[in-house]
A and B are shown apart, each in its own frame.
Chain A
């Protein structure tokens, strides 16, 4: 799992007071090819950003810091720099999110998150800000569409079409079905675990019936007209695959 395609190490400022989380994140991020600087207080974070300005390319900011209110840290960093900030919180409630994002955070991730989900968020934020901050109006339509066989998923317009032997059929999905399908399509053929799906499509703090993912998968399968589009891997999760044209 490499941070970027180029051989340049992305620098991450990790603001986290919980040592155990900080150490494992540090190790995992380094193993994944990131350069990490860890501070455990809000004051250190603000200081690092103001003195060594321009060092960090991404800030991972835990909102529950011992010395300062996380929102104040967020505002202080934003006052100094345009660096993407991903807020880490144990409280997934609406209020925290709105506040976090309004104060200048670019994304949030709620505990207990998995490492894969964290990497996905970091990449997404960096992609957005690299394009967005240099040229706000730059259309990046091509990158937002994914094609898997005859299936085309357009993230920008939230449209899904299926090439049914020459004629394009539009598939009407609910927002959650769309999120699920596009998450599977990001890495077609690879198995996505249930907890990854829940975390990405809902979030780590979501609670619902255990078969919610299955119900959504069944709904998408029916709308695509072929159950083989989404294969189940027993006890693990689901993967998107193009049905064998010959038999189906």
Chain B
């Protein structure tokens, strides 16, 4: 946006300058040319006036005076001067070869000797370049006694015009620079409040419900936007609260009909005890009520994990991993699974109170479920920039890339998951990790099994 604003501003100024300056440059060039012609004409008449007596009397005594004048003049002005007598024979010139040369075939001398001053341009084959010239008659009374021609290479004229145009260009560039500076300041005054608004939006999106935009800075429209943003941000905690409360209340409300269902099934179980088929069926129904119960409690645990985001504490991950490994080892041994713990002496992480034990237990629970007999289960902690990775890696069959992505969804269950699971374990792990600004993901372990990785923040980060 900043660059677009700059481009628009530059474009507008450039068009205005072009519309204004191109005709002006053309005009300036013509003015300059006219001024040059006028000056040369005036000079030519001055020289003609001085040359009059010399050409009239035919006395050689006056010639050195004119020659000195012509020399001085031509040296000063980078022009060439030629003076001819009435027969168009060179008398005095800024160049030696003018003397005695016959100029009668030059049209400008011909018209000057007829009494008409001439200006023009022509190509000089003698000098091999375009010439710009002025020729005037030398008059003695009414009689033409000779002619004076001042010529200059065309480039002298165009150089003068070009320097004018360059001046114009310099002014145009300065105007552009000023336009850029003004556009920059303007763009900043719009962009900076927008950038701050964006920061606030990002903070809000990452879960900081206290993020607010500055309503006092920037143009009116941006302030209005910031104010709208803030009223939205003010409403958000209310909506989140309502949603949480809904999940909580609903789960509580479900417990009562679930109790009624369970009590009735238990009554029924006692009645049909004699019929093995009916009894099994009722027992399975009872197992389903237990699964329903687990789901309700799982949802409540999830909404508690949502609420937990507020406070974090510093916990020694290594100690927790060793402790949980000790807790799970007897069961793992019964299933012929070896638990390896690979942790440094102490690793401090920043988590929601009680979250770490739940995270590790859920992950080990899942890993044991898929671990084949004789396999190993690895618990590890490794340092990464600004955090610590907690690994729970099994040697089971693993999951496809797609399933690894979806496994954190609520109620997602693997194809061969054990019956009775709620499908909420990984969702809770994810929520608990996120509550402490960490994150959870599933990777492929080197053995092809699953490597559950939870990245946790270190206290300083």
Contact = CB atoms under 8 A, between A and B. Distances in A.
Contacts of A209: 361-362, 364-365, 425
A90 to B, nearest CB: 4
Given A18-B256, A209-B361, A221-B330, A112 B267 contact: no
Contact of A218 (B267, B330, B369): B330
A21 B334 contact: no
Contact of B267 (A27, A217, A222, A227): A27
Nearest to A110: B255
Contacts of A31: 267, 270
Contacts of B298: 207
B334 A210 contact: no
Q: Is the interface of A mostly helix, strand, loop or mixed?
A: helix
A165 interface: no
A121 to B, nearest CB: 14
Contact of B255 (A90, A210, A218): A90
B359 to A, nearest CB: 11
A219 B290 CA distance: 24
B297 interface: yes
Contacts of B253: 90
Given A111-B255, A113-B259, A215-B330, A210 B418 contact: yes
Contact of B263 (A21, A211, A212, A215): A21
A236 B362 CA distance: 22
A214 interface: yes
B300 interface: yes
A218 B263 contact: no
Contacts of B334: 218, 221, 227
Interface in B247-271: 252-253, 255-264, 266-267, 270
Given A21-B260, A211-B369, A219 B330 contact: yes
Among B256, B258, B365, B425, chain A packs the most CB atoms within 10 A around the CB of B256
Given A20-B257, A24-B260, A211-B369, A219 B420 contact: no
Interface in A166-210: 194-195, 204-210
A150 interface: no
Interface in A1-20: 18, 20
A interface, how many residues as a size bin? 35 or more
A76 B312 CA distance: 42
B260 A208 contact: no
Nearest to A206: B297
Contacts of A219: 327, 330-331
A159 interface: no
B453 interface: no
A28 interface: yes
B293 interface: yes
A91 interface: yes
A25 interface: yes
Contacts of B266: 28, 114-116
Contacts of B361: 208-209, 212
Given A207-B301, A215-B327, A218-B330, A111 B294 contact: no
B368 interface: yes
Identify which of A21, A205, A210, A219 gathers the most chain B CB atoms within 10 Å of its CB. A210
Given A27-B267, A28-B266, A204-B293, A210 B421 contact: yes
Given A219-B330, A222-B330, A91 B256 contact: no
A218 B252 contact: no
Contacts of A221: 330, 334
Contacts of A116: 266
Contact of B259 (A111, A218, A227): A111
A112 B255 contact: yes
A209 B262 CA distance: 22
Interface of A: 18, 20-21, 24-25, 27-28, 31, 64, 90-91, 110-116, 194-195, 204-212, 214-215, 217-219, 221-222, 227
Given A64-B256, A114-B262, A219-B330, 12 more contacts: A24-B264, A28-B266, A90-B255, A90-B256, A90-B259, A113-B262, A115-B266, A206-B297, A210-B365, A217-B331, A219-B331, A221-B330
18 contacts: A24-B267, A90-B252, A90-B253, A110-B255, A111-B256, A111-B259, A113-B259, A114-B263, A195-B290, A209-B361, A210-B425, A211-B331, A211-B365, A211-B368, A215-B328, A215-B330, A219-B331, A221-B330
